[in-house]
Amino acid sequence: ESRYTPAEIEEKWQKVWSETNLDQTPEQSDKPKFYALSMFPYPSGNLHMGHVRVYTIVDVIARLKRMQGYRVLNPMGWDAFGLPAENAAIERNVAPANWTYQNIDQMRDQLKQLGISFDWSKELATCSPDYYRWTQWIFLEFFKAGLAYQKEATVNWDPIDQTVLANEQVDADGRSWRSGAKVERKLLRQWFLKITDYAEQLLVDLDKLKGWPDRVKLMQANWIGKSTGAQVTFTTEAGDEIVVFTTRPDTLWGASFMVLSPEHPLVEKLTTSEQSAAIQQYQEAAAAKSDLDRTAEGQEKTGVWTGSYAINPVNNQKIPIWIADYVLMDYGTGAIMAVPAHDQRDFEFAKKFNLPIHVVVQPADQTLDSSTMTEAYPGEGVMVNSGELNGVPAGKGKGQSVEKAIAFLEAHQKGKGTSNYRLRDWLISRQRYWGAPIPIIHCPNCGAVPVPDADLPVKLPEDVEFSGKGGSPLTQIESWLNVPCPSCGTPAKRETDTMDTFIDSSWYFLRYPDANNDQAVFDKAITNDWMPVDQYVGGIEHAILHLLYSRFFTKVLRDRGLLNFDEPFERLLTQGMVQGRTYKNPTTGKYVIPADIKDPTNPVDPITGEKLEIVFEKMSKSKHNGVAPGDVVNKYGADTARMFILFKAPPEKDLEWEDADVEGQYRFLNRVWRLVADSKLNQKPAKDLSKAEKDLRRSIHTAIKEITEDLQGEYQFNTAVSELMKLSNALSDCAQKDSPVYAEGIDALLRLLAPFAPHMAEELWRSIGHSDSIHTQSFPIVDPGALVADEKTIVIQILGKTRGTIEAATAIADDKAALEQFARDSEIAKRYIDGKEIKKVIVVPGKLVNFVVA
């Protein structure tokens, strides 16, 4: 009898599949299309279990859909620009391109070992000029649409190395990763994409995403952060207008001072000479703080009076104008009306600087008194001290104070209803080398001029030195930097910033369908045919930025006439983490290396002897709980690794890596192997089925039904694997291995197994005499007729004691009276009742008949 040798058969079939182009994307046809997409990895050099999980999930879906008659696109690529390559260059003097491509080669091999059915002919790497040429082209589309612009923004500046740092290069103490210098903030002119123009669409279209997890949609909505309210115009004593954004225009009668952001353009004009020194000092201090520090809750409030006053437009009260850092310049209008009675930040500010507090909302259950309040009251109530708003219920909704206040403002031309978004424009400039160069030439006459199409890509120069000092290497290569202006010919300079790598990943899914096009970003007909992605699979860590940016790009390219759909990803599955077992010392919090533990059933600290805690946490080096995919594949084979990952937890849930369960799946595959390998199957048509054959057929089609349902939409792989195990048990238990029904069962088992354990399914499929790949076969379809039992087994009891079973036709078994009669007439009943008097008969239709005799 042959043995299951995964190492041999997996390599063998991977080779055959690749040689026969099994995974190649089919041409356009009338078959329905299915675009399966997994988030492409960063080529760090090593595949980890998280990768194995995503790509296994996407592979099962792709294989299933192929068998269900779809033409499937299942592509793979590399998110290959970014900081680690550049850090490697600085630390180890290897060129970022070499480092990256070596890593890609290594990871591609590891992926191939898993038997994922990617169409490798569509492989792309975002760092390749064939790809970033089009990233640059798309940037210019944004530029031409007025959606890419420059403005000043702060960066992290390392004063020792004289270079800009990415946030990841600044440690928790605010020091540079390399020089250790205290990082400063510096203003630089940088590029932005105007995502705010699409804020409303990005919010509203979330409703179209029926196949997305609610929590991801909620995170996106919160990130966009729409607030509705009003803009109110105040006038200063000198006659200047200050517009504020407020979500509570109804509290306008309670506004007792104004606060401007320290960066507000009117501050200089409003500042009196007495206040000027204090204001200037405050502005400098605020500039050094991050937005997060400025707005953190519970922060001691600080601020300075400008010396000027404004007039409250509804009650003509003279109110002082202050500046304070808790008001941000880039939210709303950069100025607020302060209502200390009903806004906590304003309350704290008023208390600190002794500013007046006016109550304008009275709650039902208490009476607020501004002199005794200890915090703001933001809740519901009734409007008071508010002119014609008095008596109106406070809050939003028809006929309530906010709507009334807006109507009042509009009627008196003091303001208007409006909304505001927390979403900011996207800062895409990076002062780094390893990214797509922004294709702009700065000309002293013409300003920012796009690089002409014919000159794309603007290639990254290759002989570059990486010192980590003195700014991006691109600023130092004169031959690359200096070019004539494309429009007037004057000596000009290239833009030296490269693009945020999130740009690369905001459109890669549009490129895959036509990945090798060297004439255009993609062929519109091809990409519009394949898009939108039918199933996207990836990590929850991308719930906000990557998905939002991809949605934004899709909408802009649609508006540029390239795409004919609104949303890129129809369905989204966010897979859970893979967690490993850790041994943690509860007192020190340290993780002990598993090899140092003598008795795993009673783990103790090898040094202190303390009892260790066993907890499952995300796999990582520092916790010594990683499991290398290669090790598992070498020991058990890819099919077992895949089966375990799919079986252990539903795909959205975290998965605890347990060697015992891996073993369990290995044993299961071995059972399947013994069941099928070398079996002689009766391929004759089945007729006149025996009871046992009918039962087996019912098991077969129940498995088909359950698995098909488990894989429809929700992708319950774990329960599908359980069904496979049940079916395999039913087949092993079958006494009639020469029955055509048994052959039908083996056929179904292999087809059902094929998406999960593709190598084994292929090997066994061929071993029972097929010459075509199982992966080109159809997925089994349930025969509803096989599911209905035409007989049921009924237990016969006498005085509650089981005496035997009888087979009753379903129609009889399910009918109480008929079943009783049928049971009375049975041989078993007659034998045990043996003429005694029947006092009572308990009948459970479909199951049991119990005779109570004297």
Task: State the minimum distance, in angstroms, from the CB of residue 132 to Zn ion.
Answer: 25
Interaction of residue 443 with Zn ion, rule CB under 5 A: yes
As beta bridge partners, residue 419 has 228
457 binds, among Zn ion, ligand ANZ, none (CB under 5 to 8 A by kind): none
Cα separation values, 283 from 100, 277, 287, Å: 44, 10, 6
**Shortest approach of Zn ion to residue 440 CB, angstroms?**
12
- In the complex, the smallest distance separating the C-beta of residue 214 from ligand ANZ, rounded to whole angstroms, is 22
Residue 243 or 818: which CB sits closer to ligand ANZ? 243
Contact between 446 and Zn ion per CB under 5 A: yes
- How far apart are alpha carbons 531 and 550 in whole angstroms? 13
Provide the greatest CA pair distance for the chain.
Answer: 119
Q: Does 227 bind Zn ion (CB under 5 A)?
A: no
Over its C-alpha atoms, the chain yields an Rg (Å, rounded) of: 35
Give the strand pairing for 184-193 and 393-394: unpaired
Torsion sign over Cα 265, 266, 271, 273: positive
- Please pick, from the candidates 485, 548, 731, 774, the single residue that binds Zn ion as defined by CB under 5 A: 485
Q: How far is the CB of 480 from ligand ANZ (least distance, A)?
A: 41
| Residue 464 binds which of Zn ion, ligand ANZ, none (CB < 5-8 A, kind-dependent) | none
CB closer to ligand ANZ out of 407 and 838: 407
The least CB distance from residue 313 to Zn ion, in Å, is: 48
445 contact choice in ligand ANZ, Zn ion, none (CB below 5 to 8 Å, kind-dependent): Zn ion
Residues 338, 259: contact at Cβ < 8 Å? yes
CA atoms of 832 and 851, how far apart (whole Å): 10
Least distance from Zn ion to the Cβ atom of residue 152, Å:
23
Q: Does 445 bind Zn ion (CB under 5 A)?
A: yes
2 touches which of Zn ion, ligand ANZ, none (CB within 5 to 8 A by kind)?
none
- Residue 621 known to bind ligand: yes
Distances (CA, A) of 226 to 201, 415, 418, 582: 12, 19, 10, 42
Look at residue 487 and give the partner it binds from ligand ANZ, Zn ion, none, a contact being a CB closer than 5 to 8 Å depending on partner kind.
Answer: Zn ion
Residue 485 interface partner, choices ligand ANZ, Zn ion, none, CB cut-off 5-8 Å depending on type: Zn ion
Size of the site for Zn ion (CB under 5 A): 7
Of 444 and 600, nearer to Zn ion (C-beta) is 444
Binding partner at 337 among Zn ion, ligand ANZ, none, C-beta below 5 to 8 Å by kind: ligand ANZ
725 in Cβ contact with 671 (< 8 Å): no
CB atoms within 10 A of CB 558: 15
- Using the structure block, give the residue that is written with the tokens 């036709």: 809
Nearest residue (CB) to ligand ANZ, 165 versus 232 = 232
Find the shortest distance in angstroms from Cβ 455 to Zn ion.
15
Yes or no: say if 633 and 626 are a contact pair by the CB < 8 Å rule. Answer: no
State how far Cα 49 lies from the chain centre.
17
Residue 331 touches which member of ligand ANZ, Zn ion, none, C-beta under 5-8 Å by kind: ligand ANZ
- Closest to ligand ANZ by CB, 326 or 480: 326
- Which residue is listed with tokens 């199951």? 847
- Residue 488 touches Zn ion, criterion: CB under 5 A: yes
64/355 with CB nearer ligand ANZ? 355
Q: Smallest distance, Å, CB 260 to ligand ANZ? A: 9
Binding status of residue 448 toward Zn ion by CB under 5 A: no
Smallest gap from Cβ 373 to ligand ANZ, in A, equals 13
Binding segment (CB under 5 A) for Zn ion, from list 100-108, 446-454, 538-546, 815-823: 446-454
User: DSSP secondary structure string, 821-848?
Assistant: HHHHTSHHHHHHHTT--EEEEEEETTTE
Cα gap 212→535, rounded to integer Å: 10
Cα–Cα distance between 610 and 599 in angstroms, integer?
13
CA dist 302 → 261, 269, 299, 345 (Å): 12, 21, 9, 11
The Cβ-side half-sphere exposure at 18, using a 13 Å CA radius, reads 14
Q: Which does 327 bind (CB under 5 to 8 A by kind): ligand ANZ, Zn ion, none?
A: ligand ANZ
The least CB distance from residue 366 to ligand ANZ, in Å, is 17
C-beta of residue 342 within 8 angstroms of C-beta of residue 251: yes
User: What is each CA distance from 685 to 375, 678, 691, 695, 735, in whole angstroms?
Assistant: 83, 21, 17, 17, 19
From the list 748, 739, 757, the residue with the least C-alpha distance to 680 is 739
Site of interaction with ligand ANZ (CB under 6 A):
227, 245-248, 251, 326-328, 331-332, 334, 336-337, 339, 342-343, 378, 420
Under 8 Å between Cβ of 151 and 189? yes
Beta strand ranges found along 641-786 (DSSP E): 655-656
Q: Is 482 in the site for Zn ion (CB under 5 A)?
A: no
Q: Please say whether the dihedral angle defined by the alpha carbons of residues 158, 183, 82 and 112, taken in this order, is positive or negative.
A: positive
Residue 281 site contact among Zn ion, ligand ANZ, none (CB < 5 to 8 Å, cut-off depends on kind): none
Structure-block tokens of residue 246: 């407020």
**Partner from Zn ion, ligand ANZ, none binding residue 446, C-beta < 5-8 Å depending on class:** Zn ion
Nearer to ligand ANZ, 336 or 499 (CB): 336
Q: Which one-letter DSSP state was computed for residue 577? A: -
Size (the chain), residues:
854
DSSP state of 450: E
Binding mask 674-703 for Zn ion (x = CB under 5 A): ------------------------------
Query: In degrees rounded to 5, what are phi and psi of residue 311?
Result: -110, 125
Does 442 bind Zn ion (CB under 5 A)? Our answer is: no
Q: Exposed, middle or buried: residue 84 (CB in 10 Å: 0-12, 13-18, 19+)?
A: middle
Helix, strand, coil percent values for the chain (each to nearest 5): 40, 20, 40
C-alpha pair distances (Å), 280 with each of 286, 301, 323, 574: 10, 18, 11, 49
Contacting residues for 74 by C-beta, under 8 A, at least 6 apart = 23, 25, 36, 37, 58, 59, 62, 117, 118, 119
Q: Which is nearer to ligand ANZ, 409 or 577 (CB)?
A: 409
By a kind-dependent CB cut-off of 5 to 8 A, residue 86 interacts, out of Zn ion, ligand ANZ, none, with: none
Q: Which stretch binds Zn ion (CB under 5 A): 239-247, 319-327, 441-449, 769-777?
A: 441-449
Segment interacting with Zn ion (CB under 5 A) among 398-406, 439-447, 574-582, 586-594: 439-447
Stretch that binds Zn ion, among 91-99, 160-168, 480-488, 605-613 (CB under 5 A): 480-488
Binding at 420: pick from ligand ANZ, Zn ion, none (beta carbon under 5-8 Å per type): ligand ANZ
At its nearest, how many Å lie between ligand ANZ and the CB of residue 301? 12
CB of 367 to ligand ANZ, least distance (A): 18
Beta bridge partners of 230: 246, 417
247 binds, among ligand ANZ, Zn ion, none (CB under 5 to 8 A by kind): ligand ANZ
| From candidates 362, 476, 487, 528, binder to Zn ion by CB under 5 A | 487
Residue span binding Zn ion (CB under 5 A) among the ranges 317-325, 484-492, 572-580, 666-674: 484-492
Give yes or no for a contact between 38 and 55, defined as CB atoms under 8 angstroms apart.
yes
Complex with ligand ANZ: residue 339 or 556, whichever CB lies closer:
339
How would you write 728-765 as a 3-class SS string? Answer: HHHHHHCCCCCCHHHHHHHHHHHHHHCCCCHHHHHHHH
Closest CB to Zn ion among 116 and 441? Answer: 441
Q: Shortest gap between Cβ of 616 and ligand ANZ (angstroms)? A: 38
Binding residues for ATP: 621
Residues that bind Zn ion (CB under 5 A): 443, 445-446, 485, 487-488, 490
Binding residues: 621
